[in-house]
Amino acid sequence: MNAMRLAERYLDTWNEADAEARRSAVAAIWTDDARYVDPLADVAGHGQISDLIGAVQAQAPGHVFRLLEGVDAHHNVMRFGWELVPESGGEPVAIGFDVAVTGADGRLEGVVGFLDRAPGA
């Protein structure tokens, strides 16, 4: 899977509201022992990653993550920007970028997120 498609699928998991479908989507693109870290979270494994996404959705109901511009990638590393915006359109409430590392099977082994703008910041 190319880097752009993986980034899109990754953000799709952040937008998946159904917990069961989200956990399945996480399992499809993350390795079993994958880790996600940002300034507000540090989780590992499919269950914790899926639960974190659900918690973020609960904090920002009616918002969706969108990919900004393109994906920069080389070897097994990629980086991409994103924004969290109201589903109905409008100004982003959060903006950041993620750096992801993939394993030999092409799934995510780890993601480190950076927040350029976040609610209350």
- pLDDT at position 52 is 98
In sequence order, the 6+-apart residues with CB closer than 8 A to the CB of 108 are 6, 10, 29, 30, 31, 34, 100, 101, 102
How confident is the model over 106-121, as pLDDT tens digits?
999 999 999 998 875 5
CA 3 to chain centroid: 13
| Chain centroid to CA 7 | 8
Gap between the Cα atoms of 16 and 58, Å rounded: 12
| pLDDT value at 33 more than 60 | yes
What tens digit of pLDDT does each residue of 70-115 get? Answer: 899 999 999 999 999 999 999 999 999 999 999 999 999 999 999 9
pLDDT tens sequence across 13-23:
999 999 999 99
CA 78/CA 55 separation, integer angstroms: 25
Parse the chain into domains and list their residue ranges.
3-117
Query: 50 by DSSP, 3-state: which?
Result: helix
**pLDDT score of 121:** 52
What is the pTM for the complete model shown?
0.94
Contact 29, 107 (CB under 8 A): yes
Give the rounded distance of the alpha carbon of 14 from its chain centre.
Answer: 5
Specify the pLDDT at position 120.
59
H-type alpha helices, the chain: 3-15, 19-29, 45-59
Mean pLDDT of 2-11: 96
Is the domain 3-117 a CATH 1.50.10.10 member?
A: no
